[in-house]
Amino acid sequence: MRLFLIGFMGSGKSHWGRLLAQQIGDPFFDLDHVIVESEQKTVARIFAELGEEYFRIKEKETLERLVEENPAFIISCGGGTPCFFNNISFMKRYGTVVWLNTDLNVLVQRLLKEKDTRPLLRDIPEEEMKSFIMKKLLGRKQYYQQAHLIVNEDALTVDTFMKILTDA
């Protein structure tokens, strides 16, 4: 399978990517982790020391390299991956793109716990998180909506996810 999981930060891309890869038996790549390993820096440090633009270029290059080097894969993208350069059309050309469309309130709950490790969220005051996420999500929907499949994470199981993929 050649599968790209996209969706907002906290939507469960890494979690579901890992589970699906175990089930299917294809190699799993977490795009952020691959970048962190090759740069030997956390995503937060890459943003702080080298800037977002540098990260976005690395993100695009890493995405393209993983696709080139692996005949089958499950790639969990970063939340911004489909929104930069031509990444969304690239992914659609080389595999199936799935948007994990997770409920806004679930995103807010999860991200409030992890905001300090996320460069785009760390400076947002807690009370402004919901409106910040809402606005950012609104801007990004035009990219996420281009996915081949849209999966609602609510009450999702590996079996139902597998069925959605095989029925498609």
CB of 49 to ligand S3P, least distance (A): 14
Q: Could you say which residues in the range 41-70 bind ligand S3P, by CB under 6 A?
A: 43
CB of 93 to ligand S3P, least distance (A): 21
CB of 167 to ligand S3P, least distance (A): 26
Token reading at 102: 């997770």
Answer whether 79's CB lies under 8 Å from 11's CB. Answer: yes
Give whichever of 67 and 121 is closer to ligand S3P, judged by the CB atom: 121
Query: 30: Cβ–Cβ under 8 A, 6 or more apart, which residues?
Result: 14, 17, 18, 75, 76
Position 9 contacts ligand S3P (CB under 6 A): yes
Could you give phi then psi for residue 9, rounded to 5 degrees?
A: -50, 140
CB of 77 to ligand S3P, least distance (A): 7
Give whichever of 9 and 21 is closer to ligand S3P, judged by the CB atom: 9
Give whichever of 37 and 163 is closer to ligand S3P, judged by the CB atom: 37
Q: Site for ligand S3P (CB under 6 A): how many residues?
A: 10
Give whichever of 38 and 163 is closer to ligand S3P, judged by the CB atom: 38
Position 95 contacts ligand S3P (CB under 6 A): no
Return the ∠ at Cα 48 (arms to 42 and 52), rounded to 5°. 90
- Please count the other Cβ atoms lying within 10 Å of the Cβ belonging to residue 46: 21
Residue from 66, 108, 119, 162 binding ligand S3P (CB under 6 A)? 119
Ramachandran assignment for 99, one of left (phi > 0), alpha (psi -120 to 50 degrees), beta (any other): beta
What are the start-end ranges of the E strands in the chain? 2-6, 28-30, 73-76, 96-101, 149-152
Which residues contact ligand S3P (rule: CB under 6 A)? 9, 13, 32, 43, 78-80, 118-120
